[in-house]
Amino acid sequence: MKTIFVVDDNTVNLVTADETLSDHYNVITLASASTMFDFLKNIIPDLILLDIMMPDVDGFEALKRLRVDKRYSEIPVIFLTSKNDAVTEALGFEIGVIDFISKPFSGPVLLNRIKTHLHIEAIISERTAIISEQAETLKQRTEKLLRLQNSITSVLASMVENRDKLTGEHITRTTAYIRILLNAMVERGVYKEEMKDWDFEVVISSARMHDLGKIAVTDLILNKTGKLTDDEFEIIKTHATEGEKIIDEIIIESGDEAFLQNAKLFAGYHHERWDGLGYPRGLKGTDIPLQGRVMAIADVYDALVSNRSYKKAFTHEKAVEIIMENKGKQFDPELVDVFSEVNSLFRKVMECQ
């Protein structure tokens, strides 16, 4: 049985309300707002009938106290009042009353109004619970999809890495470098507008697919121990467009998700150069998507500090020097400035591998 507090300093009103409602509800009659707050410490009612004109604490003040206390803020309150002017109603609704019942009230009217409001509250509570349950289910499904997405990404990235025997943990390291750069960009407000709608975990995860197109390159070239010929290098360069094609096919089959769009930009544009001399499109400056410009620094740094069949690994200091020298040439100058401030974190990633 639902519990109703009736708070009024008029004994006749308390008796009338009790006689009218007690067959349907657990009714607790209280002669003052102060007494009501004492009872609230132990009992939370389903609804409060609250007189406005009371000594000590009036109805308006009592309602304000209820609404600022998290324990009681959701309790529906109906004002009992002989004042029916617009100012009183406006003030009541502004601070959170759900209805007014005029005094002297009739029993049937009081009972029907309370039934109506408690029914509405029950519907709202039920729908809120349903929405909350649906939201939790959606959250769980989203987390499951994200785990699946990350698993697929890891598998595809591992396939590339396992075929390319010369690059080691390149994908793992470059993903860590991307995280460092993006975090530093956010802290410094670099390309703030361009990144304002990014989900950074999605972007960082998708960076793992930047070399996906190497799947389409023969092992004979991918793992050649000597220097590549010009023709072989041209074939290697196709991994950028091949990566885009593969991701486009995934998009067609599974949908145009933000993860895949970011992966496509990392794959297709990480070998473009700021001066327009890169590949596959020869784009220049900010015409190159930001994902490609960020990956260019991470990718080149890792190549410089890693052993290759055609060269020994450069020191961290030499790699930083080369990247700084290519500011505004191969690399976005603003991103190079960020790199210059956080490259010590790159060193830590490199030394941990």
Q: Are 207 and 178 spatial neighbours (Cβ–Cβ below 8 Å)? A: yes
pLDDT tens across 223-273, in order?
Answer: 777 788 888 889 989 999 999 998 888 888 776 678 889 999 999 999 999
Question: Are residues 320 and 276 part of one domain?
Answer: yes
Question: Are residues 120 and 157 part of one domain?
Answer: no
Span between the terminal Cα atoms of the chain, in Å = 66
- The pLDDT value recorded for residue 151 is 66
The 3-state secondary structure of 48-76, one letter per residue: EEEECCCCCCCHHHHHHHHHHCCCCCCCC
User: Which residue, of 98, 132, 166, is where some domain finishes?
Assistant: 132
Residue 212, domain CATH: 1.10.3210.10
Band the pLDDT of 207: cuts 50, 70, 90.
very high
125 domain residue, yes or no: yes
Question: Are residues 345 and 257 part of one domain?
Answer: yes
Separation CA 136–CA 128 (nearest Å)? 12
Residue 160 has pLDDT above 80, yes or no: no
Separation CA 272–CA 117 (nearest Å)? 65
Separation CA 120–CA 274 (nearest Å)? 62
Separation CA 130–CA 76 (nearest Å)? 20
Look-up of token digits 């994200």:
146
Radius of gyration of the chain (CA): 34
User: Which residue, of 76, 104, 132, is where some domain finishes?
Assistant: 132
Question: Are residues 161 and 96 part of one domain?
Answer: no
137 domain residue, yes or no: no
Q: What's the average model confidence in pLDDT over 319-325?
A: 97
128 domain residue, yes or no: yes
- The pLDDT value recorded for residue 220 is 81
Domain around 75: 3-132
Question: Are residues 323 and 211 part of one domain?
Answer: yes
- The pLDDT value recorded for residue 119 is 72
337 domain residue, yes or no: yes
Residue 136 has pLDDT above 60, yes or no: yes
User: Which residue, of 132, 164, 185, is where some domain finishes?
Assistant: 132
Residue 48: C-alpha distances to residues 15, 35, 62, 149 (Å)? 16, 13, 11, 51
Q: Which of 62, 61, 39, 59 is nearest to 51 (CA)?
A: 59
Distance of CA 314 to the CA centre of its chain: 39
Question: Are residues 97 and 12 part of one domain?
Answer: yes
Separation CA 270–CA 296 (nearest Å)? 5
The tally of domains found in the chain comes to 2
Neighbouring CB atoms inside 10 A of 109's CB total 12
Q: Where are the alpha helices (DSSP H) in 164-272?
A: 170-188, 192-195, 200-206, 219-222, 230-237, 239-254, 258-269
Q: What's the average model confidence in pLDDT over 211-232?
A: 83
pLDDT tens across 45-61, in order?
Answer: 999 999 998 888 999 99
Question: Are residues 220 and 119 part of one domain?
Answer: no
Q: Are 48 and 77 spatial neighbours (Cβ–Cβ below 8 Å)? A: yes
Question: Are residues 261 and 175 part of one domain?
Answer: yes
Question: Are residues 292 and 243 part of one domain?
Answer: yes
Question: Are residues 214 and 87 part of one domain?
Answer: no
146 domain residue, yes or no: no
Q: What proportion of the chain, given as a percentage, has pLDDT over 90?
A: 46
Separation CA 182–CA 172 (nearest Å)? 16
Residue 306 has pLDDT above 80, yes or no: yes
- The pLDDT value recorded for residue 99 is 86
pLDDT tens across 75-121, in order?
Answer: 999 898 877 778 888 888 888 888 888 888 777 878 888 887 777 76
Question: Are residues 213 and 301 part of one domain?
Answer: yes
278 domain residue, yes or no: yes
Tokens of 202: 């999605």
Tokens of 148: 């699946």
Question: Are residues 210 and 109 part of one domain?
Answer: no
Residue 178 has pLDDT above 90, yes or no: yes
Q: Evaluate the CA torsion angle 292, 298, 299, 301 in order and state its sign.
A: positive
For the annotated catalytic residues, the residue numbers are 214
144 domain residue, yes or no: no
Residue 9, domain CATH: 3.40.50.2300
329 domain residue, yes or no: yes
